[in-house]
């Protein structure tokens, strides 16, 4: 599995011929857009910074689009979405996604702004291999709440997102200080299930 961070909350996950896009920005967003072909596009909040599913289509590749809570199975990928709160761009429903891929559980928190998870999510989100957490504040989790929630969810690895261009210029530095870690950014993460064995909340910073 190869994971890339394209800025904002846009995460690209590739496994063989299969590609997933999380929260790609739309052409109406001030964020930098990246156009690539995805098989599945997941949108956690209906906001121009996250709902650019047209940018996840390329050539003949049109993604299956998931935009809210529910259970889905697409191309052998099991996805569960849990409704939660966001105050990004105003009060709205944010979807937390749990994705089972290549024997790993990915949890994408989207534009979540509270450490109080909905009961259904709290019950179901266990054995998380990789957690994608927003850290920038201003409508999503602040860096300290983000770290608190990451510790609570006990993932094997944590990938911070939603900082820099989305506000929270120093959020990454503050998040790493909160975690008492010094982490060098890598261009992309290539990972297998066995690579995460024995890990406990390892923070991985991906360069946008």
Q: Who's near 99: CB < 8 A, 6+ residues apart?
A: 13, 20, 42, 77, 78, 79, 105, 106, 107, 108
Half-sphere exposure of 208 (CA within 13 A, CB side): 19
Q: What is the pTM of this model?
A: 0.95
Q: Per-residue pLDDT averaged across 97-105, rounded?
A: 96
Q: What percentage of residues in the chain have a pLDDT greater than 90?
A: 88
Cα separation, 14 vs 119, in Å, equals: 30
pLDDT at 167 exceeding the cut of 70? no
User: Model confidence over 119-139: pLDDT tens digits?
Assistant: 889 888 989 999 999 999 999
List the beta bridge partners of residue 109: none
**pLDDT reading at 165 higher than 90:** no
Instruction: State phi, psi for 145 to the nearest 5 degrees.
Output: -65, -35
pLDDT above 80 (res 101)? yes
d(CA 31, CA 204): 22
* Tokens of residue 21, six digits: 């896009």
**Could you tell me if 81 and 68 are in contact, meaning their C-beta atoms sit under 8 angstroms apart?**
yes
Q: Using an 8 Å Cβ cutoff, are 111 and 162 in contact? A: yes
Residue predicted with more confidence, 177 or 59: 177
H/E stretch holding 100? strand 92-101
Where does residue 100 rank: exposed (0-12), middle (13-18), buried (19+ CB within 10 A)? middle
Q: Please, what is the average pLDDT of the chain?
A: 95
Domains of the chain, each with CATH number or no CATH = 2-203 (3.60.15.10)
């Amino acid at each position: 599995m190869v994971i890339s961070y394209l800025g904002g909350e846009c995460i690209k996950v590739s496994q063989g011929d299969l590609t997933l896009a999380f929260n790609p920005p739309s052409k109406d967003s001030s964020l930098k857009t990246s156009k690539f072909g995805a098989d599945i596009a997941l949108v956690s909040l209906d906001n121009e910074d996250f709902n650019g599913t047209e940018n996840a289509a390329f050539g003949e590749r049109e993604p299956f689009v998931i935009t809210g809570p529910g259970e889905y199975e697409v191309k052998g990928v099991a996805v569960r979405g849990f409704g939660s709160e966001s105050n990004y761009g105003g009060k709205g429903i944010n979807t937390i996604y749990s994705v089972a891929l290549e024997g790993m559980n990915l949890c994408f928190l989207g534009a979540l702004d509270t450490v109080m998870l909905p009961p259904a999510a709290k019950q179901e989100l266990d054995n998380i291999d990789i957690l994608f957490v927003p850290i920038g504040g201003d409508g999503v989790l602040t860096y300290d709440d983000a770290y608190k929630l990451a510790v609570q969810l006990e993932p094997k690895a944590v990938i911070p997102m939603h900082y820099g261009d989305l506000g929270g210029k120093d959020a990454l530095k503050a998040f790493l200080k909160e975690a008492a870690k010094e982490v060098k950014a890598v261009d992309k993460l290539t990972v297998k299930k066995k690579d995460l064995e024995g890990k406990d909340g390892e923070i991985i910073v991906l360069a946008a």
